[in-house]
């Protein structure tokens, strides 16, 4: 793939909000400024790099109507930003004042050529500096040497013609060369004298002028605090005069206060207080048109500036006096910052063709402590990634480079070690080698792979991944030898004692899951065929020392399955696994805060273990002997509930049982049944125990419930009914004799009364339900007691199903609901017999039942003669023909309504 040169990102505040919160906060601030009276200062809190300057930019854009500061002319609201970082080192008051006036002139609040503009121009010029012109005159002074030179020069010039004339006459008749020789000697002598004159003397001779020097001296007129306040007030009166400009508002933003040195920041703080916490200003009309916004990253830093100690910062005396509004900028939420990151990565590196950008987001998320990375951190991180990518020229995946950059700030034993937080998100066998290459700034080479092979082998084994182990073994010819020696040492240590084997069980089973690759010809073909021969006995030895299976290990089932694949002794392995499964132990500390989650894991591991076909076969778990679980009955009830609802897991229920004895377990069920727990845990456990322990256990439970009924005749009828209905739902066959026994003892007559001490009753929904259960239990209505009350109750029940008196609708509704819930369909034939030819109420009940799809399916099946004994029986008993006749009539009216079984077939 061709390397594409990435580009760096600028580290500057954004104008558009990529995170959502910035724009909402900016809009809120803009609304406050536009609708509220000024004279207030606002703190904008946010971590360094969280986007405070972005909020300021968005706020400026909102207040200016999308105009740039340069294009904005005579606005209603002007936002002026004083960047304390840019002006660091300048005279504070002068720099602030000059910047403010320049900004106000730019927006025409101070109009050009106006008197105000001229005044402030002069004021700025005065502030900018004062000059002083100094002129120095220097008079040349003739030294003695200069005077001699000057005299010789003048004398030589005046007398040279005369000397030449005298010499001519004196040497007349002499040879010509003598005249020229004397003349030449004189010229040379005079030239030598003049050449020896110093430069200053020559300068004097040549110029003969005075030296004038002019200099300018500048002063630094930093105004005092009083001068600054006076000038600031005058400026505000000019631009925020409420009579001339009633709608104008000025927002002053002091940005980057937390970037400058503390001493400078302290001076800025004093400046702010000089005009914000000034009683004189507060009385001025312009003050209500002025706002101050100060972005700050650290409250402790601000408290320190304000002179407030940490102990007093909570009181807010100083800060609350200066800042009337506080707005906190949160760290970005997960989705927005990931979107921002994706956009910036695409800007730098192009489209995410290999999914690296998404991996980088996950890496950042995994290594970010305290919420989310700030926008600035993301920009700095991406720029580091650009630099490293440029160095590598595309020889490594972008995600690997990102992981290495993030690892540099993490605690590691070696600089090239891959931290666990990163390995959870991005892992490959060569990742640590890549880290080493990046650390050394070297070319990619397999030379260092041998040094890294053992950590990679350990990681692959501990992960229990055969594919990963296969990749590591293929990476170096020496890898197989390293693995062999490592396993010998590790297995030897594990098999020293049962305690060691138990302690290392999770690691041991993970190793086995990885070593399964040697049983797959497609993976093990490149390696020695004798490897398993000497490893298998060591594996069996470790397992021999294992005393129990730890079901808190989520991979326990896969580990045991791997052992059965790797064992060298199938008979021993099967017997060992069988013994371990039948010796399963519970979690010791059931009161621990982590107990609910730990129990869920324990239950899932149990299900996976017993659902594994290889484990069931090898351990002969289909021999009918249930696995006894030493767990609390409460936890057993939860297991019955979760597994019973899943047909696949229900198979496991047929292999297990709780270790509690019959008495303890039956006592728990009775206690849960009276009153019945809202989630009917007792019913679920009783149904499971009926399968596990048989009808004798069920009879033990009903015997104890009957004892409670007889001892407590004051039990609320609602509790009694709930308990009885739950028993019927669990087993018709076992509950019916129990109900008949209670009926023979007259318990139904007791429950029919509104009050156990009174011989009266009311026909309500409780009475109707008791009547249905009584008829079903006796298969008829024959009072066992011949007293007047019992006869009255029996006659009332007959009238219920003959006439429906006193409330036919209630009789139909309650009867239908109970029959559908308990599926005691055979009671309908008994009702037909009791009605004695008056079939109106029975017909209504049947019609109500036929609105239920399951009942209608049963009815149609039995009417067609296709029913079988495994399904609920409907047409049985003396009144069966009456019920058949009525059902036939009803189903004819419902013939256009398809049977649910037919819908499923279709």
What tens digit of pLDDT does each residue of 534-569 get? 899 999 999 999 999 999 899 999 999 999 999 989
Q: In sequence order, which residues have a C-beta less than 8 Å from that of residue 73 and are 6 or more positions away? A: 107, 108
Q: Is beta strand 249-255 parallel, antiparallel or unpaired with respect to 290-296?
A: parallel
Which string of DSSP letters, residue by residue, matches 380-444? HHHHHHHHHHHHHTTSS-HHHHHHHHHHTTS--SSTT---HHHHTTS--TTHHHHHHHHHHT---
- Does position 164 have pLDDT exceeding 70, yes or no? no
Model confidence band, residue 131 (pLDDT cutoffs 50, 70, 90): very low
828 or 337: whose pLDDT is higher?
828
Q: Which two tokens stand for residue 656?
A: 């297990």
pLDDT at 415 over 60: yes
Of the chain, the end-to-end C-alpha distance in Å amounts to 55
pLDDT score recorded for residue 313: 47
Q: How many CA atoms lie within 13 A of 111 on its CB side?
A: 5
List the single range of 103-107, 125-129, 311-315, 316-320 with lowest mean pLDDT.
Answer: 311-315
**What is residue 298's predicted lDDT score, i.e. its pLDDT?**
67
Percent of the chain with pLDDT over 90: 26
Tell me, what's the pLDDT at 861? 86
User: What is the pLDDT, as a whole number, of residue 609?
Assistant: 93
pLDDT at 481 over 90: no
pLDDT tens digits, one per residue of 193-204:
555 655 555 555
Higher pLDDT: 314 or 376? It is 376
Residue 903: predicted pLDDT: 45
Burial tier of 876 (Cβ tally within 10 Å: 0-12, 13-18, 19+) = middle
Greatest pairwise CA separation for the chain in angstroms: 199
DSSP helix/strand/coil, 301: helix
pLDDT at 188 over 70: no
What pLDDT band is residue 168 in, cutting at 50, 70 and 90?
A: low
Q: Is 869 in a helix, a strand, or coil?
A: coil
Distance (Å, whole) CA 638 – CA 600: 10
- φ/ψ of 340, rounded to 5, equals -60, -45
Q: pLDDT tens-digit profile of 713-750?
A: 889 999 999 999 999 999 999 999 999 999 999 898 88
More confident residue, 185 or 284: 284
- What pLDDT sits at residue 528? 64
CA–chain centroid gap for 288, Å, is: 44
Check: CB of residue 307 under 8 Å from CB of residue 353: no
Of 33-37, 115-119, 703-707, 902-906, which range is least confident? 902-906
Contact 485, 513 (CB under 8 A): no
pLDDT of residue 776 exceeding 90? yes
- Residue among 494, 636, 616, 631 at smallest CA distance from 564: 616
- Band the pLDDT of 263: cuts 50, 70, 90: confident
Q: Closest by alpha carbon to 643, among 676, 671, 608, 668?
A: 608
SS3 42: strand
pLDDT at 315 over 60: no
More confident residue, 105 or 14: 105
Q: What's the pLDDT at 542?
A: 95
- Spatial separation of the C-alpha atoms in residues 118 and 124, rounded to whole Å: 10
Beta bridge partners of 657: 628
- What is the CB neighbour count within 10 angstroms for residue 173? 5
**Could you read off the pLDDT of 787-845 as tens digits, one per residue?**
788 888 888 888 888 888 889 999 999 999 999 999 999 999 999 988 887 889 999 99
Spatial neighbors of 697 by CB under 8 A, at least 6 apart, are 662, 665, 666, 689, 690
Q: What local confidence, expressed as pLDDT, does residue 163 receive?
A: 63
What pLDDT, on a 0 to 100 scale, did the predictor assign at position 276? Answer: 66
Residue 290 near residue 253 (C-beta atoms within 8 A)? no
With cut-offs at 50, 70 and 90, classify the pLDDT of residue 156.
low
Predicted local distance difference test score (pLDDT) of residue 407? 87
Report how far residue 870's alpha carbon sits from residue 862's, in angstroms, rounded to the nearest whole number: 12
pLDDT for the residue numbered 901 = 47
The yes-or-no verdict on residue 774 having pLDDT over 90 is: yes
> Distance between CA 282 and CA 184 in Å, rounded?
97
Exposed / middle / buried, residue 215 (Cβ in 10 Å: 0-12, 13-18, 19+): exposed
- Its sign, for the CA torsion 90, 91, 94, 96, is positive
Among 51-55, 443-447, 584-588, the range of highest mean pLDDT: 51-55
Cα 237 from Cα 143, distance rounded (Å): 68
More confident residue, 141 or 835: 835
Lowest mean pLDDT among 70-79, 686-695, 862-871: 862-871
- The confidence score (pLDDT) of residue 446 equals 57
pLDDT tens digit string along 212-261?
Answer: 555 555 454 566 777 778 888 888 898 888 888 888 999 999 888 777 78
Which of 22-26, 494-498, 597-601, 805-809 shows the highest mean pLDDT? 494-498
Q: What percentage of residues in the chain have a pLDDT greater than 70?
A: 78
pLDDT digit string, tens, across residues 493-542? 999 999 999 999 999 999 999 999 988 887 776 666 678 888 999 999 99
Q: How confident is the model at residue 269 (pLDDT cuts 50, 70, 90)?
A: confident
On the question of pLDDT at 312 being above 60, the answer is no
Average pLDDT estimate for 345-357: 87
Q: Measure the CA–CA gap between 716 and 755, rounded to whole angstroms.
A: 10
* Residue 590 confidence (pLDDT): 55
* Residues 6+ away with beta carbon under 8 Å from 556: 509, 549, 550, 605, 608, 609
Predicted local confidence at residue 766, as pLDDT: 92
What's the whole-number average pLDDT of the chain? 81
């Amino acid at each position: 793939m061709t390397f594409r040169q990435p580009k760096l990102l600028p580290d500057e505040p954004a104008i558009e909000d990529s995170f959502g919160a910035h724009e909402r906060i900016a809009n809120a601030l803009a609304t406050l400024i536009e609708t509220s009276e000024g004279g207030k200062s606002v703190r904008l809190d946010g971590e360094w790099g969280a986007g405070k300057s972005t909020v300021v930019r968005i706020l400026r854009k909102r207040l200016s109507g999308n105009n740039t500061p340069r294009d904005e002319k005579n606005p209603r609201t002007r936002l002026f930003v004083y960047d304390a970082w840019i002006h660091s080192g300048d005279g504070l008051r002068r720099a602030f004042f000059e910047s403010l006036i320049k900004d106000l002139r730019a927006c025409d609040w101070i109009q050009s050529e106006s008197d105000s503009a001229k005044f402030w121009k002069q004021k700025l010029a005065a502030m900018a500096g004062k000059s002083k012109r100094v002129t120095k005159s220097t008079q040349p002074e003739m030294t003695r040497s200069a005077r001699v030179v000057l005299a010789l020069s003048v004398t030589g010039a005046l007398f040279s013609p005369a000397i030449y004339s005298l010499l001519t006459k004196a040497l007349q008749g002499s040879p010509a060369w003598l005249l020229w020789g004397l003349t030449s000697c004189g010229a040379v002598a005079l030239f030598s004298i003049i050449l020896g004159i110093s430069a200053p003397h020559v300068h004097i001779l040549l110029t003969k002028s005075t030296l004038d020097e002019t200099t300018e001296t500048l002063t630094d007129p930093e105004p005092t605090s009083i001068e600054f306040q006076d000038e600031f007030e005058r400026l505000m009166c000019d631009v925020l005069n409420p009579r001339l400009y009633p709608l104008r508002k000025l927002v002053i933003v002091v940005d980057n206060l937390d970037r400058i040195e503390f001493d400078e920041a302290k001076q800025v703080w004093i400046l702010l207080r000089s005009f914000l916490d000034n009683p004189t200003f507060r009385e001025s009309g312009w003050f209500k048109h002025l706002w101050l916004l100060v972005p700050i990253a650290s409250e402790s830093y601000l408290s320190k500036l304000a002179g407030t100690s940490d102990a007093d910062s909570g009181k807010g005396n100083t800060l609350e006096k200066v800042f009337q509004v506080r707005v906190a900028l949160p760290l970005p939420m997960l989705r927005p910052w990931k979107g921002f990151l994706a956009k910036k990565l695409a800007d730098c590196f192009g489209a995410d063709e290999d999914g690296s950008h998404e991996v980088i987001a996950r890496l950042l998320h995994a290594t970010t402590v305290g919420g989310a990375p700030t926008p600035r951190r993301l920009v700095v991180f991406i720029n580091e990634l650009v630099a490293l990518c440029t160095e590598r020229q595309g020889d490594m995946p972008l995600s690997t480079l990102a992981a290495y950059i993030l690892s540099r700030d993490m605690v590691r034993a070696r600089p090239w070690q891959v931290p666990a937080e990163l390995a959870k998100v991005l892992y490959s066998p060569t990742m640590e080698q890549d880290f080493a290459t990046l650390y050394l700034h070297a070319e990619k080479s397999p030379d260092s792979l041998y040094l890294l092979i053992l950590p990679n082998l350990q990681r692959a084994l501990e992960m229990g991944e055969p594919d990963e182990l296969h990749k590591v073994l293929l990476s170096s010819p020496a890898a197989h030898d390293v693995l062999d020696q490592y396993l010998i040492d590790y297995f030897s240590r594990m098999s020293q004692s049962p305690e060691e084997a138990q302690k290392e069980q999770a690691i041991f089973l993970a190793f086995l899951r990885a070593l399964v690759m040697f049983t797959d010809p497609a993976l093990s073909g490149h390696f020695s065929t004798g490897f398993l021969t000497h490893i298998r006995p060591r594996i069996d030895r470790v397992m021999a020392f294992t005393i129990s299976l730890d079901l808190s290990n989520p991979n326990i089932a896969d580990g045991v399955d791997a052992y059965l694949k790797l064992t060298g002794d199938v008979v021993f392995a099967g017997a060992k696994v069988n013994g371990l499964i039948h010796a399963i132990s519970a979690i010791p500390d059931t009161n621990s805060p982590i107990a609910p989650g730990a129990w869920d894991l324990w239950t899932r591991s149990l299900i996976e273990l017993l659902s594994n076909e290889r484990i069931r076969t090898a351990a002969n778990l289909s021999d009918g002997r249930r696995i006894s679980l030493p767990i609390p009955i409460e936890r057993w009830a939860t297991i019955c509930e979760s597994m019973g609802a899943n047909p696949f897991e229900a198979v496991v229920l047929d292999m297990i049982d709780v270790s509690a004895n019959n008495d303890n377990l039956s006592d728990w069920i009775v206690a849960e049944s009276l009153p019945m727990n809202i989630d009917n845990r007792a019913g679920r456990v009783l149904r499971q125990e009926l399968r596990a322990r048989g009808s004798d256990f069920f009879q033990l439970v009903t015997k104890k419930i009957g004892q409670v009924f007889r001892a407590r005749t004051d039990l609320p009828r609602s509790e009694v009914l709930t308990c009885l209905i739950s028993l019927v739902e669990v087993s018709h066959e076992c509950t019916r004799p129990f109900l008949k026994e209670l009926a023979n003892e007259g318990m139904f007559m007791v429950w029919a009364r509104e009050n156990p001490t009174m011989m009266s009753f009311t026909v309500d929904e409780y009475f109707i339900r008791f009547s249905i259960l009584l008829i079903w239990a006796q298969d008829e209505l024959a009072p066992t007691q011949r007293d007047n009350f019992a006869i009255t109750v029996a006659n009332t029940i007959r009238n219920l199903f003959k006439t429906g008196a006193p409330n036919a609708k209630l009789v139909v509704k309650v009867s239908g609901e109970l029959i559908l819930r308990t599926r005691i369909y055979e009671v309908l034939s008994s009702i037909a017999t009791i009605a004695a030819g008056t079939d109106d109420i029975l017909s209504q009940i049947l019609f109500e039942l036929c609105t239920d799809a399951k009942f209608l399916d049963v009815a149609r099946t039995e009417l067609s003669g296709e029913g079988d004994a495994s399904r609920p029986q409907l047409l049985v008993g003396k009144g069966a023909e009456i019920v058949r006749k009525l059902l036939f009539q009803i189903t004819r009216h419902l013939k256009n309504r398809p049977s649910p079984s037919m819908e499923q077939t279709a």
